[in-house]
A and B are shown apart, each in its own frame.
Chain A
Amino acid sequence: MSDVKETSITVEVVYRGIFQKTLAQRICRSIVLAARKRGHTGTAFARYGDSPERNGVPAKQFAVVAINNLELEASMAKYEPAVVDVTIAVDDTLVKGVESWAWYGRQPIWKPIRKDGFLLVTSTNTPDEVLAQTDTALRPYTLVIVPGGASFAGLWVFKDDHTDYRCLGALAKVSPDWVRLEDVKALIKEQTKDDGAVQSAQYGYDGAKLRPVKAGEGTSGHEVLQFEKPGWTTMRPGIIVNARKPGERNPQYKKYGARTLRPVVNFDTCIKCTMCWLDRPDECFEVTPEGHYEVVYQACIGCGICAQVCPVKDCIVMVDELKFEDHEDKWQFWKKDHDGYNKWFETKSGVSANPQVRTPPARQEGSGNANPSANPTSASGGDD
Chain B
Amino acid sequence: MAVQVKEREHQDVETEQLMSGCEAIAEAIRLADVDVMAAYPIRPYDGVMQAAAKLIANGKMDVEYIVADGEHSQFEIVKHACAVGSRVFVGSSGVGWFYAFEAIAVTAGLRLPVVAICGNRALDDPGAFGTEHNDSLAVRDLGWLLPWAETAQEAMDLALMAWRVGEDKRVSLPVAIGLDGAFLTHSQQIVKIPTQAAVNKFLPKFDLGDRLLHPDNPITIAPQVDQDWLMEIRMQNDQAMRKAHDVISEAHAHFKELFGRGGDSPFLDEYMTDDAEYVVFGQGTLALPMKVAIRRLRKEGHKVGLVRLKWFRPFPTQEIVKSLSRFKAVGVIDRDYSFGSPYYGGVLYNEVRSALYSLDKRPTIVGFIAGLGGREIEQPMATDIFEKTKAAAGDIKSGDTCHWIGVRS
Chain B nearest Cβ from A228, distance in angstroms = 12
**Cβ-defined contact, A238 with B227, below 8 A:** no
Return the contact of B235 from the options A232, A238, A240, A245 (Cβ within 8 A).
A232
Instruction: Report Cα–Cα, A245/B223, bound state, in Å.
Output: 17
Instruction: Report Cα–Cα, A236/B217, bound state, in Å.
Output: 14
Q: B residues 230-265 with Cβ under 8 Å of A?
A: 231-233, 235-236, 239-240
Chain A nearest Cβ from B214, distance in angstroms = 11
Return the contact of A239 from the options B109, B210, B231, B240 (Cβ within 8 A).
B109
CB-CB nearest in chain B for A238: B111
| A230 contacts chain B at the CB level, 8 A cutoff | yes
Chain A nearest Cβ from B286, distance in angstroms = 36
* Chain B residues touching A, majority SS: helix
Instruction: Report Cα–Cα, A128/B231, bound state, in Å.
Output: 44
Instruction: Report Cα–Cα, A310/B222, bound state, in Å.
Output: 37
Q: A residues 294-351 with Cβ under 8 Å of B?
A: none
Instruction: Report Cα–Cα, A243/B233, bound state, in Å.
Output: 18
Chain B nearest Cβ from A50, distance in angstroms = 10
Q: Which residues of B contact A231 (CB under 8 A)?
A: 232
Q: Mark A222-241, 1 if CB is under 8 A from B, else 0.
A: 00000001111001111111
Q: Which residues of A contact B112 (CB under 8 A)?
A: 238
Which size class do B's interface residues fall under? 20 to 34
Return the contact of B233 from the options A79, A232, A245 (Cβ within 8 A).
A232
Q: Mark A24-56, 1 if CB is under 8 A from B, else 0.
A: 000000000000000000000000110000000
Instruction: Report Cα–Cα, A149/B31, bound state, in Å.
Output: 71
Chain B nearest Cβ from A29, distance in angstroms = 24
| A203 contacts chain B at the CB level, 8 A cutoff | no
| B172 contacts chain A at the CB level, 8 A cutoff | yes
**Cβ-defined contact, B239 with A232, below 8 A:** yes
| A242 contacts chain B at the CB level, 8 A cutoff | yes
Q: Answer whether A237 and B236 are a contact pair too, CB < 8 Å, given A242-B218, A244-B218.
A: yes
Q: Answer whether A245 and B227 are a contact pair too, CB < 8 Å, given A232-B235, A237-B240, A240-B211.
A: no
CB-CB nearest in chain A for B222: A239
Instruction: Report Cα–Cα, A230/B229, bound state, in Å.
Output: 8
Instruction: Report Cα–Cα, A244/B215, bound state, in Å.
Output: 11
**Cβ-defined contact, B218 with A49, below 8 A:** no
Q: Which residues of B contact A245 (CB under 8 A)?
A: 218
* Chain A residues touching B, majority SS: loop
| A158 contacts chain B at the CB level, 8 A cutoff | no
| B228 contacts chain A at the CB level, 8 A cutoff | yes
**Cβ-defined contact, A229 with B228, below 8 A:** yes
**Cβ-defined contact, A235 with B232, below 8 A:** yes
Instruction: Report Cα–Cα, A312/B33, bound state, in Å.
Output: 61
Q: Which residues of B contact A243 (CB under 8 A)?
A: 218-220
**Cβ-defined contact, A238 with B218, below 8 A:** no
**Cβ-defined contact, B218 with A235, below 8 A:** no
| B9 contacts chain A at the CB level, 8 A cutoff | no
**Cβ-defined contact, A241 with B219, below 8 A:** yes
Instruction: Report Cα–Cα, A375/B19, bound state, in Å.
Output: 71
**Cβ-defined contact, B229 with A229, below 8 A:** yes
Q: Which residues of A contact B229 (CB under 8 A)?
A: 229, 235
Q: Which residues of B contact A241 (CB under 8 A)?
A: 219-220, 223
Q: B residues 95-109 with Cβ under 8 Å of A?
A: 109
Q: Mark A171-212, 1 if CB is under 8 A from B, else 0.
A: 000000000000000000000000000000000000000000
Q: Which residues of A contact B227 (CB under 8 A)?
A: 49, 79
Q: Which residues of B contact A236 (CB under 8 A)?
A: 210-211, 219
| B226 contacts chain A at the CB level, 8 A cutoff | yes
Q: Which residues of B contact A48 (CB under 8 A)?
A: 226
Q: Which residues of A contact B223 (CB under 8 A)?
A: 239, 241
Instruction: Report Cα–Cα, A242/B225, bound state, in Å.
Output: 14
Q: Mark A67-109, 1 if CB is under 8 A from B, else 0.
A: 0000000000001000000000000000000000001000000
Instruction: Report Cα–Cα, A236/B236, bound state, in Å.
Output: 9
Instruction: Report Cα–Cα, A175/B222, bound state, in Å.
Output: 45
Interface centre among A48, A237, A239, A242, by most chain B C-beta atoms within 10 angstroms, is A239
Q: Mark B354-387, 1 if CB is under 8 A from A, else 0.
A: 0000000000000000000000000000000000
Chain B nearest Cβ from A54, distance in angstroms = 12
| B221 contacts chain A at the CB level, 8 A cutoff | yes
| B321 contacts chain A at the CB level, 8 A cutoff | no
Instruction: Report Cα–Cα, A242/B232, bound state, in Å.
Output: 17
**Cβ-defined contact, A239 with B232, below 8 A:** no
| B110 contacts chain A at the CB level, 8 A cutoff | yes
Instruction: Report Cα–Cα, A239/B229, bound state, in Å.
Output: 9
Q: Which residues of B contact A244 (CB under 8 A)?
A: 218
Instruction: Report Cα–Cα, A49/B112, bound state, in Å.
Output: 27
CB-CB nearest in chain A for B83: A238
Instruction: Report Cα–Cα, A98/B330, bound state, in Å.
Output: 62
Return the contact of A238 from the options B110, B228, B231, B239 (Cβ within 8 A).
B110
Q: Answer whether A237 and B228 are a contact pair too, CB < 8 Å, given A232-B239, A242-B218.
A: no
Q: Which residues of B contact A232 (CB under 8 A)?
A: 231-233, 235-236, 239
Instruction: Report Cα–Cα, A48/B232, bound state, in Å.
Output: 20
Chain B nearest Cβ from A197, distance in angstroms = 37
Instruction: Report Cα–Cα, A266/B219, bound state, in Å.
Output: 38
**Cβ-defined contact, B232 with A237, below 8 A:** no
**Cβ-defined contact, B220 with A238, below 8 A:** no
Instruction: Report Cα–Cα, A355/B100, bound state, in Å.
Output: 63
**Cβ-defined contact, A240 with B221, below 8 A:** yes
Chain B nearest Cβ from A331, distance in angstroms = 27
Q: Which residues of B contact A79 (CB under 8 A)?
A: 227
**Cβ-defined contact, A230 with B221, below 8 A:** no
CB-CB nearest in chain B for A244: B218
Chain B nearest Cβ from A249, distance in angstroms = 13
Q: Which residues of B contact A235 (CB under 8 A)?
A: 229, 232-233, 236
18 contacts between A and B (CB under 8 A): A103-B228, A229-B229, A230-B232, A235-B229, A235-B236, A237-B111, A237-B172, A237-B236, A238-B110, A238-B112, A238-B172, A239-B222, A239-B225, A240-B211, A240-B220, A240-B221, A241-B220, A243-B219
- Taking A103-B228, A239-B109 as known contacts, 4 extra A-B pairs with beta carbons closer than 8 A to each other, sorted by chain A number, are A235-B232, A237-B111, A240-B219, A242-B219
Interchain residue pairs A-B with the least CB separation, the first 3:
A243-B218, A232-B232, A232-B235
